Amino acid sequence: MPGGRPTKYKEEYNEQAYKLCLLGATDKSLADFFEIDEATVNRWKLEYPEFCESLKRGKVIADTEIAQSLYQRAKGYSHPEDKIFVHDGLPVIVPTEKHYPPDTGAAMAWLKNRKPDSWSDTQKLELTGADGGPVDVRIAGMSDEELEKLLED
């Protein structure tokens, strides 16, 4: 018989975790919700396959819906929309089409994640030492004097 404290896990946590993941919950926020630590969430994933599957299902659905929304926003889209007017004191419903133009911010987010080699804002800089081997140098935040000294060495 294993020692230690009895588990707080309950079978109804599967459905709760699934719904929380649909809302974007992370393992950390699940731990907060269930009043446990994140290591316990990870242990439950191993010990209770149905719990692990609930998390995966919820996270995949949520991520897919967000990806679809981002994609639609990036390329622009249209949808039917009813406009309601009042004419001679009576409501009149006019079917129209609402158009959303492409959003460059959404397009950039999409491209940076899908094609980071082509669309990343960061540049990779490789320095080599006198021996031709790589040099691990962090230059961000260095003063001009420090950079000049580094180039002299």
The reported pLDDT for the residue numbered 4 is 72
Over residues 27-36, the mean pLDDT reads 96
Residue 1: band (very low, low, confident or very high) from pLDDT cuts 50, 70, 90:
very low
Q: What share of the chain is helix, strand, coil (3-state, %, to 5)?
A: 50, 15, 30
Asked if pLDDT for residue 31 goes beyond 80, the answer is: yes
Over residues 134-148, the mean pLDDT reads 71
Over residues 6-22, the mean pLDDT reads 94
Which residue would you say has higher pLDDT here, 16 or 5?
Answer: 16
The reported pLDDT for the residue numbered 97 is 97
Asked if pLDDT for residue 89 goes beyond 90, the answer is: yes
Angle formed by the axes of helices 104-114 and 49-75, nearest 10°: 130
How far apart, in Å, are the Cα atoms of 92 and each of 79, 80, 83, 96, 99? 20, 16, 8, 13, 21
Over residues 70-94, the mean pLDDT reads 95
Asked if pLDDT for residue 119 goes beyond 60, the answer is: yes
Length of the chain: 153
- Mean pLDDT, the chain, rounded, equals 88
Contacts (Cβ under 8 Å, ≥6 apart) of 75: 102, 107
Helix (H) or strand (E) holding 12: none
Q: Which residues of 18-52 are buried (b: 16+ CB within 10 A; e: fewer)?
A: bebbeeebebeebbeebebeeebbeebbeebeebb
Question: Which three-class secondary structure state does DSSP give residue 46?
Answer: helix
DSSP 104-125: HHHHHHHHHHH-HHHH-S----
Over residues 45-74, the mean pLDDT reads 94
Question: Which three-class secondary structure state does DSSP give residue 72?
Answer: helix
| Domain boundaries along the sequence of the chain | 13-75, 78-152
The reported pLDDT for the residue numbered 87 is 95
